[in-house]
């Protein structure tokens, strides 16, 4: 990913709903830079402020404090129709009284595109979203996935500088959602438009994004590439929200990471070093179930077979629960049964040392 | 067996509705249709055994003493005036009613309920009484006249009462809620996210109104127009009281035929022609708005 110039700069943005003491802070001094031609995702649980931020870029919410700039120009005070950005709404918001073609042409007409140029543009948009032949249909005659495509075509038709997508895939069923994820990525590549995507689905974010901003309770938690976020979560929230994680408390002493009665692992399993009590996070797939002798000891308390993999929950000897995931190969037997005592080992760097001190 | 029983059950359940429609709808209509093709009796009523199409002929022609027919446009003029006044009332109530309904629909829930209550307050008083009140307001030396003379805009000679203008004012006043309420009903259901989408795609306020809000509010607008136009074109006492009987409308004409003119068949024929006019408007409505957009 080349380091492109910034398309959108979000500068110390604050959003307050209500006045005075009763004001609710939806966004708390958020600063972000979204690069040109980037697939950027705002990820977080509902109520984290991600949709509010998107609506502020679109112009549907005012900025209480701070500034949002599009290619250097402040958007403050500009009404939605004065901003060269388009939105794909969660509900699609297709105009029910217009045909598919008229829906797609709407933005072009509003932006004053010459009449003769509209029809070919609409046709090429239909082709882009693979809906050729659907021009005369009405939105209610289309399936959810098709409506989604029309909403995309409509928002892309005026060639916005930035496309905003608000939980756009959440109304689709799983299979269709997977298809659309690939489709969205393709559209972004082909059009070269900067996409800002809002979702609460971490898997969706990891699959599609060039970079992800994780948000929680109005604050930015971490910004980075999917790999950064998954492998080096900035804090406990990010580690917990993205993927599966076991949180453990240990004591780092010299070249050993001690887990009380469970035993110890070499300190090299940590991705950074610090002496003393430490909170660590480890992904279930980064742990191995080993034979006797080495590693930390525990008793298997649960085994869940999930087709592609099997998840073992191990109660460590010092009382902390920890999960291990193993991909299933054809005909392979289970590595352990409930009640069995096992030992766990890890590759160097598998454990992520969290910034906070040890937790209880 | 059971099939017959189900059918019997169904007809029993439908009986009250069927009976109501038969007695209060169909029977009077048949009676009127029948009367319209009979000859009038000298002192009102009809001669039940004497068929005649004179009533319909009379609408367009005048029968001279020598039985020759000459074209008479008097009644057509009354129909035309009724049509114009009702049409005018529809247009004006629409021009006032749509922005009002839009304004109400954009308020928060609590304010909306209060404003709708205000719109419906006039229904709490009898329309006849309210029409009389307009006489007091509009007459020379009345409230409006006095107010204008205080401001130096009139010398006690407003001369509005007993003119078509007064009738039009009466119509607009009386039928405005019937325009506001259906339009409000359709605007209240409107998905405002669509308006947001229009703004997002570059539509300014006017374009969003014209291209999104108006088309989606069309079923409400059409219903409002019908609910104003139909009662206005057939109205009787607003032209009678505010028009002073000088600017006759269809309603007054019909009343005259059953009253002083003692020509019941002609009155019945006139009502049927009014009915035809209304049916045509309804037909246009259903043809255009049978399926509201978005269904």
pLDDT single digits (tens) B191-236: 999 999 999 999 999 999 999 999 999 999 999 999 999 999 989 8
Mean pLDDT of A315-341: 87
Computed over every residue of chain A, the mean pLDDT equals 90
- Give the other-Cβ count within 10 Å of B121's Cβ: 10
Does A306 contact chain B (CB < 8 Å)? no
Residue B51 domain flag: no
3-state secondary structure (DSSP) of residue A33 = strand
pLDDT single digits (tens) A57-100: 999 999 999 999 999 999 988 999 999 999 999 999 999 999 99
Edge-to-edge strands of the sheet including A24-35? Answer: A24-35, A6-17, A65-70, A73-74
**Alpha carbons B7 and B19: distance in angstroms, whole number:** 17
Q: What is the pLDDT of residue B156?
A: 60
Mean pLDDT of B141-153: 81
Q: Does pLDDT of B262 surpass 50? A: yes
Contacts of A59 in chain B (CB under 8 A): 199
Tally of domains within chain B: 1
Whether residue A106 and residue B207 make contact (CB cut-off 8 A), yes or no, is no
Q: What is the pLDDT of residue B294?
A: 42
Q: Does pLDDT of A345 surpass 70? A: yes
* Lowest mean pLDDT across A274-288, A328-342, B260-274: A328-342
How sure is the predictor about B289, in pLDDT bands with cuts at 50, 70 and 90? low
Q: Does pLDDT of B247 surpass 70? A: yes
Smallest Cβ–Cβ distance between B294 and the set A60, A140, A154 belongs to A140
More confident residue, A172 or A242: A242
Q: Does pLDDT of A359 surpass 60? A: no
Q: What is the pLDDT of residue A87?
A: 95
Give the gap in angstroms from C-alpha B215 to the nearest C-alpha of chain A: 7
How far, rounded to the nearest angstrom, does the alpha carbon of residue B135 sit from its chain's CA centroid? Answer: 21
Residue B36 domain flag: no
What residues contact A13, with CB distance under 8 A and at least 6 apart? A27, A29, A30, A31, A53, A56, A63, A65, A66, A67, A68
Give the gap in angstroms from C-alpha A151 to the nearest C-alpha of chain B: 10
Residue B25 domain flag: no
- Which residue bears the tokens 């500068």? A11
What residues contact A302, with CB distance under 8 A and at least 6 apart? A311, A312, A313, A338
How sure is the predictor about B110, in pLDDT bands with cuts at 50, 70 and 90? very high
Q: Does pLDDT of A282 surpass 80? A: yes
Is residue A98 within 8 A of residue A106, CB to CB? The reply is yes
What residues contact B199, with CB distance under 8 A and at least 6 apart? A59, A60, A79, A80, A81, B208
Residue B68 domain flag: no
Is residue A96 within 8 A of residue A90, CB to CB? The reply is no
Residue B265 domain flag: yes
User: Given CA atoms B148, B149, B152, B156 in this order, what sign does their dihedral have?
Assistant: positive
Mean pLDDT of B256-268: 89
* Percent of chain A's residues with pLDDT above 90: 59
How sure is the predictor about B266, in pLDDT bands with cuts at 50, 70 and 90? very high
Residue A34 DSSP one-character state: E
3-state secondary structure chain B: CHHHHHHHHHHHHHHHHHHHHHHHHHHHHHHHHHHHCEEECCCCCEEEEEECCHHHHHHHEEECCCCCEEECCHHHHHHHHHHHHHHHHHHHHHHHHHHHHHHHHCCCHHHHHHHHHHHHHHHHCCHHHHHHHHHHHHCCCCHHHHHHHHCCCCCCCCCCCCCHHHHHHHHHHHHHHHHHHHHHHHHHHCCHHHHHHHHHCCCCHHHHHHHHHHHHHHHHHHHHHHHHHHHHHCCCHHHHHHCCCCCCCHHHHHHHHHCCCCCHHHHHHHHHHHHHHHHHHHHHHHHHHCCCCCC
Whether residue A58 and residue B198 make contact (CB cut-off 8 A), yes or no, is no
Smallest Cβ–Cβ distance between A93 and the set B193, B203, B216 belongs to B193
Q: Does pLDDT of B64 surpass 90? A: no
CATH assignment at residue B99: 1.10.3720.10
**Alpha carbons A138 and A141: distance in angstroms, whole number:** 5
Mutate: best of B202, B213, B220, partner A, most A CBs <10 A: B202
Domain that holds residue B149: 77-289
Residue B123 domain flag: yes
* Percent of chain B's residues with pLDDT above 90: 46
Residue B181 domain flag: yes
Mean pLDDT of B37-41: 88
Interface residues on B facing A, Cβ-Cβ cutoff 8 A: 191, 193-194, 196-204, 207, 211-212, 215-216, 293-295
C-alpha distances out from residue B158 to B144, B161, B245, Å: 8, 8, 19
Q: What is the pLDDT of residue B207?
A: 95
How sure is the predictor about A318, in pLDDT bands with cuts at 50, 70 and 90? confident
Whether residue A89 and residue B204 make contact (CB cut-off 8 A), yes or no, is no
Q: What is the pLDDT of residue B290?
A: 59
Contacts of A60 in chain B (CB under 8 A): 196, 199
Residue B56 domain flag: no
């Amino acid at each position: 990913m080349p380091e492109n110039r910034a398309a959108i700069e979000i500068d110390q943005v604050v959003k307050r709903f209500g006045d005075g003491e009763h004001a609710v802070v939806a966004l708390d001094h958020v600063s972000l830079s979204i690069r040109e031609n980037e697939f950027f995702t705002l990820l977080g649980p509902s109520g984290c402020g991600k949709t509010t931020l998107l609506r502020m870029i679109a112009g549907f919410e005012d900025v209480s404090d701070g500034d949002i700039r599009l290619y250097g120009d402040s958007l403050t005070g500009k009404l939605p129709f004065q901003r060269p950005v388009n939105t794909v709404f969660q509900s699609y918001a297709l105009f029910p009284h217009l045909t598919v073609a008229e829906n797609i042409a709407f933005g072009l007409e509003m932006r004053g595109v010459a009449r003769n140029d509209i029809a070919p543009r609409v046709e090429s948009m239909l082709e882009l979203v693979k809906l050729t032949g659907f021009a005369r249909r009405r939105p209610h005659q289309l399936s959810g996935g098709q409506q989604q495509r029309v909403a995309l075509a409509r928002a892309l038709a005026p060639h916005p500088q930035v496309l905003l997508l608000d939980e756009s895939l959440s109304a689709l069923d799983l299979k269709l959602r997977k298809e659309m994820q690939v489709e969205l990525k393709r559209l972004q590549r082909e059009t070269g438009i900067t996409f800002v995507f809002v979702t609460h689905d971490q898997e969706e974010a990891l699959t599609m994004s060039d970079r992800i901003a994780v948000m929680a309770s109005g604050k930015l938690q971490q910004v980075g590439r999917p790999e950064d976020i998954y492998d080096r979560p900035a804090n406990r929230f990010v580690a917990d929200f993205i993927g599966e994680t076991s949180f453990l408390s240990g004591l780092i002493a010299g070249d050993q990471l001690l887990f009380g009665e469970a035993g110890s692992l070499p300190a090299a399993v940590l991705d950074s070093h610090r002496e003393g009590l430490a909170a660590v996070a480890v992904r279930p797939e980064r742990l191995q179930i080993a034979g006797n002798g080495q590693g930390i000891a525990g008793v298997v308390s649960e085994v869940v077979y999930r087709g592609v993999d099997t998840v073992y929950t191990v109660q460590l000897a010092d009382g902390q629960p920890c999960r291990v995931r193993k991909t299933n190969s054809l005909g392979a037997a289970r590595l352990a049964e409930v009640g069995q005592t096992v030992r766990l080992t890890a590759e160097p760097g598998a454990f992520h040392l969290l910034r906070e001190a040890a937790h209880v | 067996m059971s099939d017959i029983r189900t059918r019997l059950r169904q007809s029993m359940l439908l009986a009250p509705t069927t009976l109501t429609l038969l007695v209060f709808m169909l029977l009077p209509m048949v009676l009127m249709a029948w009367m319209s093709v009979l000859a009038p009796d000298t002192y009102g009523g009809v001669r039940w055994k004497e068929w005649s199409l004179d009533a319909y002929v009379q609408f367009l022609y005048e029968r001279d003493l020598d039985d020759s027919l000459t074209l008479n446009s008097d009644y057509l003029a009354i129909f035309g005036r009724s049509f114009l006044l009702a049409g005018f009332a529809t247009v004006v109530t629409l021009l006032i009613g749509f922005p009002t309904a839009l304004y109400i629909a954009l308020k928060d829930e609590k304010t909306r309920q209060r404003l709708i209550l205000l719109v419906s307050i006039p229904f709490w008083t009898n329309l006849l009484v309210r029409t009389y009140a307009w006489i007091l307001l509009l007459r020379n030396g009345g409230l409006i006249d006095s107010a204008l003379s205080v401001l130096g805009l009139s010398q006690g000679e407003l001369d509005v009462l007993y003119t078509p203008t007064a009738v039009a004012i009466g119509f607009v006043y009386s039928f405005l809620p019937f325009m506001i309420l259906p339009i409000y009903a359709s605007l209240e259901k409107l998905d405002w996210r669509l308006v947001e989408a229009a703004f997002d795609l570059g539509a300014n306020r006017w374009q969003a109104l014209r291209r999104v809000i108006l088309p989606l509010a069309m079923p409400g607008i059409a219903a409002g127009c019908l609910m104003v136009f139909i009662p206005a074109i057939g109205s009787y006492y607003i032209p009678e009281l505010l028009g002073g009987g000088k600017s006759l409308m269809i309603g007054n004409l019909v009343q005259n035929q059953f009253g002083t003119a003692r020509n019941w068949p002609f009155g019945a024929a006139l009502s049927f022609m009014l009915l035809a006019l209304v049916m045509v408007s309804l037909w246009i409505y259903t043809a255009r708005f049978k399926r509201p957009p978005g269904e």
